[in-house]
Amino acid sequence: MADNYSDGKIRLGVLTDLSGTFSDIAGMGSVEAVKMAAEDFGQVNGTPVEVISGDHQNKADIASSVAREWYDEKGVDAIFDLTNSSVALAVANISYEKNRIAIISGASSTRLTTDSCTPNSIQYVYDANSVSNVIGKSILKSGGDTWFFVTVDYAFGLSLEAAATKVVQAGNGKVVGSVKHPLGASDFSSPILQAQASGAKIIALANGGADTINAIKAAKEFSVTPAQNVVSMATTLTEVHGLGLENAQNLLFTEAFYWDMNDETREWARRYFERTKKMPNFYQAGMYSAALTYLKAAAATGTDEAGNVMKHIKATPINDVFTKNGHVRADGLHVHDMYLLQVKQPGESKYEWDYAKVVAKVAGEDAFSPMVAGACKYVK
């Protein structure tokens, strides 16, 4: 098999939030994770790998412009991260148009694998259904049957709220209300007071990054707990670190990866920490895995042609530090185990970044909702 790599290089682009609400949970952490994968893998059949990065500023038009420039002028073969559902939806479409590949991290919208799916995109880390299934069902079992949502007003938050609402209603719970806020809101007094006034047992935060941190701080300021429980639908280890154990203690959250689970995760996380001075969350660990998966496929097929690479990825189990026996479905969803975590109380933490304990491991088939026939038009 003759190796056929355009321009004599494999070019990976990390298009992420480098300056806004999600810069901590993705940002340079995602860039470094992809660079680690490229360094660990080495050359692809003698072809060097190059990693470039850019800031989408959480704007779909800026992301689209950068993606087109990367594909048309810089020879980028695949774009990674795309934390922000609106950004991910736009770049996935351009990647299909240009016959390149988009591998998505922190975008939860289920549209990426339903009405807006493409043969060239992978929703790699999670989707709204997976976090809603894992955390929602657990809370319902423990008696949390009335919910109020505080939701960021764009595709990411709306998808999280919609998916969680289905889980709550299917479990005989009730959604008593919802309030929307803009991305990057600075004041959460009004949304949290509305949630408090609702009397709901569960105040569910359908937002992420700095918005989640600020909402949880506001809930503490207004003494929402213990009368009501605050649950985050998209918290990562990064937000827990930003909040501190005093503010975040007992919070339930869902991730696909936790750095302190076993010797393999600890060894990789410490290498990551040496580069970033932070432990990785599941978005960042996921992008390390995604880049490795792409490079393995490019090596196995001897080409960077998108169709051949995607065919190999979908036919090959994924086994690395991020997941064991993961697989990419025909609709582009990466199905893998998920974990329900609980933030430790300050007295339980034994060392730096010892923030959480695993409450439950949920098999991928149970965490991710089944593929719906006809939802993705490219699946026959």
Confidence of residue 3 (pLDDT cuts 50, 70, 90): confident
Mean pLDDT, residues 46-54 taken together: 98
Q: How far apart are the C-alpha atoms of 35 and 49, rounded to whole Å?
A: 9
193 and 266 fall within a common domain? no
Residue whose pair of structure tokens reads 């506001």 in the numeric block = 218
One domain, residues 34 and 167: no
Using a 10 angstrom Cβ sphere, with 0-12 exposed, 13-18 middle and 19 or more buried, the burial of residue 243 is buried
Q: Domain span at residue 307?
A: 6-126+262-335
What 185-191 contacts at long range (C-beta under 8 Å, 24+ apart), as own/partner pairs, is 185/152, 185/211, 185/214, 186/214, 187/218, 188/150, 188/214, 188/215, 188/217, 188/218, 188/219, 189/218, 189/222, 191/150, 191/215, 191/218
Same domain? For 41 and 87 the reply is: yes
Mean of the pLDDT values across residues 239-254? 92
Which residue is listed with tokens 């736009």?
90
pLDDT digits (tens, 9 = 90+) for 326-350: 999 999 999 999 999 999 999 999 9
Looking at residue 158, what is its pLDDT? 94
Mean pLDDT of 46-55: 98
For residue range 202-229, list pLDDT tens digits in order: 999 999 889 999 999 999 999 998 899 9
**pLDDT for residue 4:** 85
Is the pLDDT confidence value at 276 over 80?
A: yes
pLDDT at 141 over 50: yes
Across 23-32, average pLDDT: 97
What's the pLDDT band for 287 if we cut at 50, 70, 90?
Answer: very high
Helix (H) or strand (E) holding 339: strand 338-343
User: What number of other Cβ atoms are within 10 A of residue 312's Cβ?
Assistant: 18
Over residues 151-194, the pLDDT tens digits come to 999 888 999 999 999 999 999 999 999 999 999 998 999 999 99
CA angle 328, 330, 334 (to 5 degrees): 25
pLDDT at position 130 is 95
* Residue 372 domain-assigned (yes or no): no
Residue 343 and residue 330 in one domain: no
Residues 187, 220: one domain? yes
Q: Are 181 and 273 in a shared domain?
A: no
Mean pLDDT of the chain: 95
Question: What is the mean predicted confidence (pLDDT) over 244-266?
Answer: 94
Residues 177 and 151 grouped into a single domain: yes
| Mean pLDDT of the 99-118 span | 96
For residues 196 and 110, state if they share a domain: no
121 and 98, same structural domain?
yes
Cis peptide before 280 (omega within 30 of 0): no
CATH for 345: 3.40.50.2300
Residue 2: pLDDT over 70: no
